[in-house]
Amino acid sequence: NNFVEIYPTEPIPAGNKIEVVFSNVRNPRFGGMYHFNANIRTPGDVPLLRYIGTWLLTIE
């Protein structure tokens, strides 16, 4: 499994939309459908992992 970890320099307030743009990356050798899952860690003394969504990416 491959994964990407993103650490914002400042907390992102709840309800705000963000956009993540990747550059200088390579697509997989073979096309197909890939799941992109997103989780966040809540701020605080005990950060909790929360699932926020899944997107399907199709590469031809």
Summarize pLDDT for 1-54 with one digit per residue, the tens. Answer: 678 888 888 888 888 998 888 888 887 788 889 888 999 888 889 989 999 999
What pLDDT score does 48 carry? 94
**How far apart are the C-alpha atoms of 5 and 57, rounded to whole Å?**
18
The CA-based dihedral angle spanning residues 43, 38, 23, 17, taken in that order and rounded to the nearest 10 degrees: -60
Give the C-alpha separation, 33 to 27, whole Å: 12
Residue 55: pLDDT band (50, 70, 90) is very high
Give the global pTM: 0.61
pLDDT of residue 11: 84
Q: What is the model's pLDDT at position 1?
A: 64
* Cross-strand bridge partners of residue 36: 55
Residue boundaries of the structural domains of the chain = 1-59
Q: Which residues are CB-contacts of 55 (< 8 A; sequence separation ≥ 6)?
A: 35, 36, 38
